[in-house]
Structure formats: C-alpha cells, structure tokens
Amino acid sequence: PYRLDKSNAHFRKAVQKMPLGVSSNFRYWGDNNTVYVKHGRGARVTDLDGNVYVDYRLGYGPAILGHCHPEVDAAAREGQQVGTVFALGTEREYTVASMISEMVPAAELVRFSNSGTEAVMAALRLARGATGKDHYVTFEGSYHGLFDSTMWTLDTDTIQEGREPDIVSYGKGIPAAVRSLFWQVPYNDAQRLEDVLKKHGHTIAAVLIEPILGNCCGIPSKPEFIKAVRELCTKYGVLMIVDEVKTGFRVRRGGAQELYGVKADICTMAKAVGNGYPIACIGGREDIMRNYGRGVAHGGTYTAQAMSLAAAEKTLTILRDTSALDDIAAYGTAMQEGMHKILSARGIPHSFTGHPSMSGLFFRETPPSNYRDWKTSDYTFYDTLAHHLIPRGVMCEPDSREPWFISTAHDKACLDETLDTFEYCVDL
C-alpha cells in the first residue's frame, strides 16, 4: 500500500519555515500529497517513505543521463578542485563554449548563465541592445522563465467565451506596465505573426519562440510554421530567439534547430546541458553576440562556475559521442507504441505530442496544436490516470502540463514496469 507518512510529516514541519513547504510553487501537491525525495539514482527516485518511482519528470528535463550519473558527478567533483567562482574567467569556459558551437551552429559565440530564466533574460536584452528596439513577440502557451517580461498568458474564461482572449499576467506582482512592450500571437499561426510584424516590426527587437511548447504537454511547431517564423523575422528585420532551454541537447545534438532545419539569430539552452547542475547558455550570431563588448550588460556572480562547467563538459561529451539521444528517442517511441497498443485494444482515443524524448499524451484523436485548444481540452481521464500511476511507481506529470521526459537511464526494466502499470491503471 502506498503511504506518504514521512513526506506528510516532513511537509508539516517544512511548511512552518517555507511557503507551501517547498522551493517552487509547482512542487506543492496538496497538504497530504506533497512528495519529498530521499534520493534519485538513474531513472528512479526514492521518496522519504521508501516508495520508488520510475521518473518521467527528471526535474522538468535536466537529468538526461539519469540522476547521479557517475561520470558527470566525478567530473563535477574534479571541477570543484578548481574552486567555485573567482570573478575571473577559467580555461574550461572556452572548451565548453566550443563544444556548444560545434553542436549548435547558430551558437557562433556563447555566453553562460545559471538558469533558463537568466539565459532568456540575457537573450532578450541582447536582442534589444543589438537592434535598438524595445518590443518583442511571444506565442500563446509559451514558458520562457520567471521574469516579468514573459509571465503572461491568456485569460481562460475569455478563451471559453470564444472571443479574442484577454492577455493576463501569471499572477500578482507582475507590473501591468510590461504589457505595453509585447505582442502575443497564437502558436502555429504564421499569418497572425506576419500581421503583427508588418504593422509593428519597426519597434520589435525579437520574436521569442519555443520550438516545442514545453508547458503545454509538448505541442510542437509545425515544420512549415517554424520555417515561416524564420523567414518573417528576416523579412521584417526582427531577431529570432529560439528558446531551447528544454529541447536543447535533447531532441537532437543540435536541439530543435537541427530537428527542424532552422537557424536562430540567438538561442538559449539550459536543462540538459549539465545533467542537473545549474548552467545555461546564450548562443548567437557573431555580430549580435559582439554587442556584449559594445554596451550590452551581462554578467552574474555564478556564471560559468567551475563545478557546473565541468559537469557540462562531461554531459555534452556523452551526448555528442554516444548514441544517447537515439537511445532516448527509441525508448520514447517504444513507450508510445506500448501505450498505443494498450489504449487501442480498449478503443480509447489518444494521441501523442512533442518528440519521443519529451512527449505529451492526450486522450483525443488528434492533439491540440495551440494553447487555446490545449487549455480548453478535457483532461479528466489523463489526470485520473496520472493519479493512479504515481502511487504505483510511475512518476509522470500529474496535471497535464509538462511532457514525459526520458533519460539514458530508462532501460527495458523501466519500460516493462511502466507499461504493465499503465495497462493496470487504464482499467481502474
């Protein structure tokens, strides 16, 4: 029987010192349902009560080689010997920057950051500094980090009313004044983007796009859409920032840009870069990146700190030189095929989104292709299923938001266990 006694006891203690008892609002799953981790090893996570889960969340993607990867951790320890931070550069920054450039052609030059949020903030400022323009465009349903510029979404009530939805902030504390700086257009709708760029391109620095909507179960760009975004940005003199914080070094060695055959002016990568060690990067065209020497501010006490950098060097080496990403995709495909078989046998309509390495599962014939459709979809079956799966050891996304992430540590035993549990839970 599944018990969370120790997690619940810890919650009662933690909530006295920490809001919601956690360090991110999303980790709070209710007063009697918030899970605290004892440790993660490979593809499995053990909680305080000793429950073991096959982990399909991987910290929202980073642990692409599995938790506590021995070689990455050894590299990080070796990196520590350098020291942590110096307010000076080290040699390894060049080594890792060169590897990133080689894997992601758009990243002609590279700067490091600590998190996805910081990298996107830096990319947006760079675009503004390089173009001398302030405005920007994002797409409905995107997530680009915690900062004020990107924490905007559609008012769900107004989507349901079937009119042009209102754009609202993600919550309190985000200044209304920011709203005058951006346009938000429907994903996979190049015409709407062109309408905005045609009219306002002269004040727009950048179009910021996630190639796969990571916070909407991995809704992918249609290939012709992302190519059109590229062409429209060039046509209207606007920079294309491809936010590969989730997709970078995951869907391909060269990220979604390689998958789709598009090249960003500026791109951001994080998560998979360091297998969980905090490191992110901004890459871009040389003439744009050189603005860092021409008046565009960028820095950060912890940027390129030694431990994360060493972890990144090892992680990228493995992703570059082994079949890791093919293995991950093959596992994802096999999992989808297994689920498809189970669901088809029962006549349950379903579909998958994203990429096999980070895919969403929908209980409808065709998946949504934009945020409005995603937001107004019915998730009753998924949510019920997820709440059966988690107590039985399949740690999937509980609320139809993030895709299921795969690592190289997911093996045949994980797959068999997952599909057996899935089949059992579908019938509950």
Q: How far is the CB of 243 from ligand PMP (least distance, A)?
A: 4
Q: How far is the CB of 271 from ligand PMP (least distance, A)?
A: 7
Nearer to ligand PMP among residue 300 and residue 391 (C-beta)? 300
Distance CA 296, CA 301 (A): 17
CB 159 within 8 A of CB 331: no
Q: Which residues bind ligand PMP (CB under 6 A)?
A: 60, 115-117, 120, 143-145, 210, 214, 243, 245-246, 270
Nearer to ligand PMP among residue 201 and residue 276 (C-beta)? 276
Distance CA 191, CA 182 (A): 17
Nearer to ligand PMP among residue 143 and residue 183 (C-beta)? 143
Q: How far is the CB of 120 from ligand PMP (least distance, A)?
A: 5
By beta-carbon distance, which residue lies closest to ligand PMP?
A: 116
Nearer to ligand PMP among residue 194 and residue 210 (C-beta)? 210
Distance CA 325, CA 44 (A): 19
Q: How far is the CB of 403 from ligand PMP (least distance, A)?
A: 10
- At residue 109, the 3 state secondary structure works out as strand
CA 99 to chain centre: 21
CB 358 within 8 A of CB 212: yes
Which residue type sits at 87?
A
Nearer to ligand PMP among residue 38 and residue 57 (C-beta)? 57
Angle between helices 306-321 and 324-345 (to 10 degrees): 70
Q: How far is the CB of 59 from ligand PMP (least distance, A)?
A: 10
CB 159 within 8 A of CB 165: yes
Q: How far is the CB of 382 from ligand PMP (least distance, A)?
A: 20
Q: How far is the CB of 361 from ligand PMP (least distance, A)?
A: 19
Distance CA 210, CA 226 (A): 10
Q: How far is the CB of 142 from ligand PMP (least distance, A)?
A: 7
User: Left (φ > 0), alpha (ψ -120 to 50) or beta: where does 187 sit?
Assistant: beta
Nearer to ligand PMP among residue 141 and residue 367 (C-beta)? 141
Distance CA 395, CA 391 (A): 8
Nearer to ligand PMP among residue 99 and residue 120 (C-beta)? 120
Token readout for 374 is 């995603």
Q: How far is the CB of 247 from ligand PMP (least distance, A)?
A: 8
CB 269 within 8 A of CB 250: no
Nearer to ligand PMP among residue 187 and residue 422 (C-beta)? 187
Q: In this structure, what is the dihedral angle of CA atoms 382, 384, 388, 391, given to the nearest 10 degrees?
A: 100
- At residue 119, the 3 state secondary structure works out as helix
> Tokens 């014939």 label which residue?
365
Q: How far is the CB of 202 from ligand PMP (least distance, A)?
A: 27
Please tell me what DSSP assigns to residue 266: E
Nearer to ligand PMP among residue 100 and residue 270 (C-beta)? 270
Nearer to ligand PMP among residue 194 and residue 243 (C-beta)? 243
What is the side-by-side order of every strand in the sheet holding 204-209? 109-113, 280-284, 266-269, 239-244, 204-209, 135-139, 182-185
